[in-house]
């Protein structure tokens, strides 16, 4: 026959016990870690919407199915939020009753010793001379000296219980409370935080504002009013690459650091150094260095020598040698002029690949461009600053009908067929910066340190009970004024050192009391 059938309330209680068990909490924590893996495998809209669009264009058949599964929005998906919420409920349901139970244990005294200590996992026994009351008092003194909390003494008692290691459960609860706090802190950072990306060139400044970021991602509960006002000027960006090593190490980055001036209204401008893992601090927010590259300084003049365009143009690196692509849009002439091509920090002419860069540093820079003219902004559609839509433009050709191709080095210029000149005046660097506001960052750090402290207590402290029972020796002439001292130990969990503790307690109890020093004869006294 089967067991008793559970009613609806019984099933609810059973489900709640399963959900709030420590095993379920650990499984949910592992499941949450597994659920976060797709967020690192696929580009996320909240982090890089441009890469998401590129992935969709490159995988038109697969991308819609991935989007239906929220794999481009993993951390805001319903299934990720469900795991997150279940984990929080499981931790709360596990912590609250255990906290109440631990509080009662701290207020209560250890229980009385069981009758048969021989059943305990660690036992030691010895017969010693003395009255039961005297030996029991010695046992209480030994346990007190070793830091045990003792059971209350009563008239006629022949046993005592000592217990210590309450910090083990305290550390356990502290660890789980801190982990719950870390989850809440990360949630608060996601809901109330925001992040924006911007590219700043050397010598230029940028003022924060909702419309001034290249990309801006606000948390669900954040608004543009939360963005503070401040100005950042990129004073210097230093990048060094390996030049001495050979093989794969040649050209590897060795240093990325710089100097920036932060100006917050009402404060004195402050100059700060920054690096990849050392952000600039702005009123509690952080500015991280995400990337860097080169910005050729290009000047375009009309046939009369009037400047039509003069700016440092951001070119995006495409490989480890910083071979970069970019576009220049000159709107000061009719028709519009578009220049597209690549910047090569160390130009090398390869018979098969053509123009490439052999080193990421500025050893022999070159700017290769081709020219188009026509409507730069067809139908008024927005477009990337790094590309040009040439659908309604025509490529400029030379007298022989060949497309115009120019290769400029710093200080050189090229003249187009109509007399317009394109000059490369120099090259500066640009820095890609991430401005991040995360109100949960510091609480999460403090709670993580608290969790580590709780884990140290949980693993380093042993919770154990030591029982001492005093029984009269076996009746007989030799047993007069003798008692049997039995010491037993009961651990909470595993405790390999428990037998040694029991033996030490017994040895201390049965050790003869120290004798007072004897006084010498008068002749020996100085």
pLDDT of residue 341: 93
pLDDT of residue 131: 87
When pLDDT is averaged across residues 434-451 and rounded to a whole number, the result is 92
State yes or no: pLDDT of 8 exceeds 80.
no
When pLDDT is averaged across residues 306-331 and rounded to a whole number, the result is 92
State yes or no: pLDDT of 51 exceeds 80.
no
pLDDT of residue 476: 58
If pLDDT is split at 50, 70 and 90, which confidence band does 512 have? Answer: confident
pLDDT of residue 1: 47
* Alpha-carbon span 465 to 149, nearest angstrom: 9
State yes or no: pLDDT of 62 exceeds 80.
yes
pLDDT of residue 379: 67
* Alpha-carbon span 212 to 86, nearest angstrom: 39
Residues 84, 85, 91, CA angle at the centre, nearest 5°?
90
Task: Count the neighbouring beta carbons within 10 Å of the beta carbon of residue 411.
Answer: 9
Q: Report the sign of the C-alpha dihedral through residues 185, 190, 193, 198, in that order.
A: positive
State yes or no: pLDDT of 383 exceeds 80.
no
Closest to 208 in 3D by CA, of 287, 266, 293: 287
Query: What are the phi and psi torsion angles at 459 (to 5°)?
Result: -90, -25
Give Cβ neighbours of residue 16 (< 8 Å, ≥ 6 apart): 93
As a dihedral over the C-alpha atoms of residue 418, residue 383, residue 410, residue 431, rounded to 10 degrees, the angle is 160
Among the listed ranges 70-74, 490-494, 516-520, which one has the minimum average pLDDT value? 516-520
Among the listed ranges 226-240, 388-402, 426-440, which one has the minimum average pLDDT value? 388-402
pLDDT of residue 59: 87
State yes or no: pLDDT of 439 exceeds 60.
yes
Q: Are 73 and 66 in contact (CB under 8 A)?
A: no
pLDDT of residue 465: 94
Among the listed ranges 350-364, 457-471, 476-490, which one has the minimum average pLDDT value? 476-490
Q: Are 305 and 326 in contact (CB under 8 A)?
A: no
pLDDT of residue 250: 81
State yes or no: pLDDT of 479 exceeds 60.
no
* Model confidence pLDDT, tens digit, residues 271-316: 999 988 889 999 888 999 888 999 999 999 999 999 999 999 999 9
When pLDDT is averaged across residues 332-337 and rounded to a whole number, the result is 85
Report pTM: 0.70
Encode 130-190 in three state secondary structure.
CCHHHHHHHHHHHHHHCCCEECCCCCCCCEEEEEECHHHHHHHHHHHHHHHHHHHHHHHHH
State yes or no: pLDDT of 333 exceeds 70.
yes
CA distances (Å), origin 454, targets 167, 179, 271: 9, 10, 40
* Alpha-carbon span 354 to 351, nearest angstrom: 6
* Model confidence pLDDT, tens digit, residues 26-41: 888 889 889 888 888 8
As a dihedral over the C-alpha atoms of residue 260, residue 261, residue 265, residue 268, rounded to 10 degrees, the angle is 140
State yes or no: pLDDT of 475 exceeds 80.
no
pLDDT of residue 154: 76
When pLDDT is averaged across residues 434-440 and rounded to a whole number, the result is 90
State yes or no: pLDDT of 77 exceeds 60.
yes
State yes or no: pLDDT of 522 exceeds 60.
no
* Alpha-carbon span 74 to 65, nearest angstrom: 14
pLDDT of residue 526: 41
Q: Report the sign of the C-alpha dihedral through residues 151, 152, 153, 155, in that order.
A: negative
State yes or no: pLDDT of 3 exceeds 70.
no
Task: Count the neighbouring beta carbons within 10 Å of the beta carbon of residue 88.
Answer: 16
Instruction: Give the rounded percent of residues in the chain with a pLDDT score beyond 90.
Output: 41
If pLDDT is split at 50, 70 and 90, which confidence band does 393 have? Answer: confident
Q: What is the mean pLDDT of the chain?
A: 87
State yes or no: pLDDT of 326 exceeds 60.
yes
Paired strand residues for 161: 467
* Alpha-carbon span 77 to 183, nearest angstrom: 16
* Model confidence pLDDT, tens digit, residues 165-202: 999 989 989 988 998 898 889 888 888 999 888 999 99
Domain ranges of the chain: 9-94, 109-165+462-510, 194-244+251-437
pLDDT of residue 398: 86
If pLDDT is split at 50, 70 and 90, which confidence band does 50 have? Answer: low
pLDDT of residue 480: 61
State yes or no: pLDDT of 463 exceeds 80.
yes
Paired strand residues for 286: 281, 436
CATH architecture of residue range(s) 109-165+462-510: 2-Layer Sandwich (3.30)
* Model confidence pLDDT, tens digit, residues 84-98: 888 888 888 888 888
State yes or no: pLDDT of 482 exceeds 50.
yes
If pLDDT is split at 50, 70 and 90, which confidence band does 219 have? Answer: confident
If pLDDT is split at 50, 70 and 90, which confidence band does 477 have? Answer: low
State yes or no: pLDDT of 521 exceeds 60.
no
DSSP E strand boundaries for 318-395? 324-330, 336-344, 347-350, 354-357, 366-374, 393-395
If pLDDT is split at 50, 70 and 90, which confidence band does 478 have? Answer: low
State yes or no: pLDDT of 519 exceeds 80.
no
State yes or no: pLDDT of 524 exceeds 50.
no
Both tokens of residue 24? 């379920």
If pLDDT is split at 50, 70 and 90, which confidence band does 123 have? Answer: very high
Among the listed ranges 13-22, 34-43, 200-209, which one has the minimum average pLDDT value? 13-22
Q: How far is CA 129 from the centre of its chain?
A: 63
Both tokens of residue 161? 């219980």
pLDDT of residue 25: 79
């Amino acid at each position: 026959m089967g067991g008793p059938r559970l009613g609806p309330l019984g099933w609810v209680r059973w489900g709640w016990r399963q959900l709030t068990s420590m095993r379920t909490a650990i499984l949910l924590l592992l499941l949450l870690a597994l659920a976060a893996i797709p967020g690192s495998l696929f580009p996320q809209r909240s982090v890089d919407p441009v890469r998401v669009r590129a992935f969709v264009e490159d995988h038109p058949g697969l991308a819609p199915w991935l989007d239906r599964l929220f794999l481009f929005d993993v951390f805001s998906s319903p299934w990720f939020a469900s795991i997150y919420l279940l984990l929080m409920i499981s931790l709360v349901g596990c912590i609250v009753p255990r906290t109440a139970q631990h509080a009662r244990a701290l207020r209560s005294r250890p229980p009385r010793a069981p009758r048969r200590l021989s059943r305990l996992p660690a036992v030691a026994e010895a017969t010693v001379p003395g009255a039961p009351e005297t030996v029991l008092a010695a046992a209480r003194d030994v346990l007190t000296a070793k830091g045990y909390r003792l059971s209350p003494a009563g008239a006629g008692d022949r046993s005592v219980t000592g217990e210590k290691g309450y910090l083990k459960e305290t550390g356990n609860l502290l660890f789980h409370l801190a982990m719950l706090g870390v989850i809440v802190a990360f949630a608060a950072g996601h809901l109330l935080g925001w992040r924006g990306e911007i590219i700043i060139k050397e010598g230029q400044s940028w003022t924060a504002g909702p419309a001034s970021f290249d990309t801006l991602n606000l948390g669900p509960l954040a608004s543009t009013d939360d963005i503070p006002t401040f100005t950042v000027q990129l004073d210097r960006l230093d990048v060094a690459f390996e030049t001495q090593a050979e093989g794969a190490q040649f050209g590897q980055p060795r240093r990325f650091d710089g100097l920036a001036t932060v100006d917050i209204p009402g404060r004195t401008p402050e100059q700060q150094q920054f690096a990849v893992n050392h952000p600039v601090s702005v009123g509690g927010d952080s500015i991280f260095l995400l990337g860097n590259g080169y910005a050729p300084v290009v000047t375009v003049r009309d046939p009369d020598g009037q400047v039509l365009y003069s700016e440092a143009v951001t070119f995006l690196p495409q490989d480890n040698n910083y071979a970069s692509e970019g576009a220049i849009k000159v709107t000061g002439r009719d028709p519009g002029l578009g220049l597209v091509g690549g910047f090569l920090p160390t130009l090398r002419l390869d018979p098969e690949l053509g123009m490439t860069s052999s080193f990421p540093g500025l050893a022999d820079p070159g700017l290769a461009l081709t020219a188009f003219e026509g409507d730069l902004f067809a139908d008024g559609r927005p477009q990337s600053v790094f590309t040009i839509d040439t659908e309604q433009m025509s490529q400029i050709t030379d007298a022989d009908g060949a497309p115009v191709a120019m290769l400029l080095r710093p200080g050189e210029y090229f003249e187009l067929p109509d007399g317009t000149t394109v000059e490369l005046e120099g090259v500066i660097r640009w820095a890609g910066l991430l401005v991040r506001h995360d109100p949960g960052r510091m609480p999460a750090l403090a709670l993580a340190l608290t969790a580590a402290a709780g884990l140290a207590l949980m693993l380093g402290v042993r919770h154990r009970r030591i029982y001492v029972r005093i029984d009269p020796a076996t009746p007989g002439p030799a047993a007069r004024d003798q008692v049997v001292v039995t010491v037993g130990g009961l651990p909470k969990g595993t405790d390999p050192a428990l037998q040694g503790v029991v033996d030490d307690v017994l040895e201390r109890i049965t050790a003869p009391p120290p004798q007072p020093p004897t006084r010498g004869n008068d002749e020996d006294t100085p």
